[in-house]
Chains A and B, each alone.
Chain A
Amino acid sequence: QKEVEQDPGPLSVPEGAIVSLNCTYSNSAFQYFMWYRQYSRKGPELLMYTYSSGNKEDGRFTAQVDKSSKYISLFIRDSQPSDSATYLCALKAGSGNTPLVFGKGTRLSVIA
């Protein structure tokens, strides 16, 4: 079993829809959880950062972490065509200087 599993999609939704993106993980040592957005042919940019179970909201984006189920989600409300990108989850263990472990990314298209 891979450390981090993420459905690659592609996921296609109409403009204004609520989007749910998910990752599951197997290593209970992960304590820091991030979501990155990557536009085509660009570097990923940090979208959300959290280190505890529960919800964190930033504008139209909500990151949710359920450590008991080893499940993290990113919700996008009122999705826009400009949200069309690949979304990668990234997790880090709490101890030591271990690098991030990335999911493979989900490609999202929001259709106007």
Chain B
Amino acid sequence: DGGITQSPKYLFRKEGQNVTLSCEQNLNHDAMYWYRQDPGQGLRLIYYSQIVNDFQKGDIAEGYSVSREKKESFPLTVTSAQKNPTAFYLCASSTLQGMIGALYFGAGTRLSVL
């Protein structure tokens, strides 16, 4: 089945620690995205990538980093510089053809601070 796989489902971070959230897609989509969701805040864009080896900052990129070495993969690192990392993180992908802009989401990773 085609889709987006996020792992792990739950993640705990100790203070000062960097953690990496995995996102893999087998939809052959060109673009991939990371969003953060907090209660009452809606979805906020962290980073997005239209093609391999290229990515752009979203609205709240500070304290996060990404890489896009393969079309299928777009991992997100939450660095120690992100002082309030507790949130629900969603990865998404989209095709640049057909239904322009329509995003397909993974099941999410819930990150908490120990």
Which of A41, A44, A51, A104 counts the most chain B CB atoms within 10 A?
A: A44
B97 interface residue (CB < 8 Å to A): no
Residues 75 to 112 of chain B near chain A (Cβ within 8 Å): 88, 90, 92, 96, 99-108, 110
Give which listed residue, B45, B99, B106, contacts A49 with CB less than 8 A: B99
Give the chain B neighbours of A88 by CB distance below 8 A. Answer: 42-43
- Please state if B90 and A97 are interface contacts (CB–CB under 8 Å): no
- Shortest B32–chain A CB gap in Å is 11
Q: Are B48 and A99 in contact (CB under 8 A)?
A: yes
Residues 7-52 of B at the A interface (beta carbon under 8 Å): 31, 33, 40-43, 45, 48, 50
Chain A interface, >50% SS class:
loop
Q: Is there an interface contact between B102 and A49, defined as CB atoms closer than 8 Å?
A: yes
CA distance A92 to B105 in the complex (A): 17
- Is the interface on chain B under 10, 10 to 19, 20 to 34, or 35 or more residues? 20 to 34
B103 touches A100 (CB 8 A): yes
Q: Are A100's CB and B40's CB within 8 A?
A: no
Binding site for B on A (CB under 8 A): 8, 32, 34, 41-46, 49, 51, 88, 90, 92, 97, 99-100, 102-105
Known: A43-B108, A46-B102, A88-B42. 18 other contacts (CB 8 A): A32-B100, A32-B101, A32-B102, A34-B101, A41-B88, A41-B108, A41-B110, A43-B4, A43-B6, A43-B90, A43-B92, A43-B105, A43-B106, A43-B107, A44-B43, A90-B103, A99-B58, A100-B101
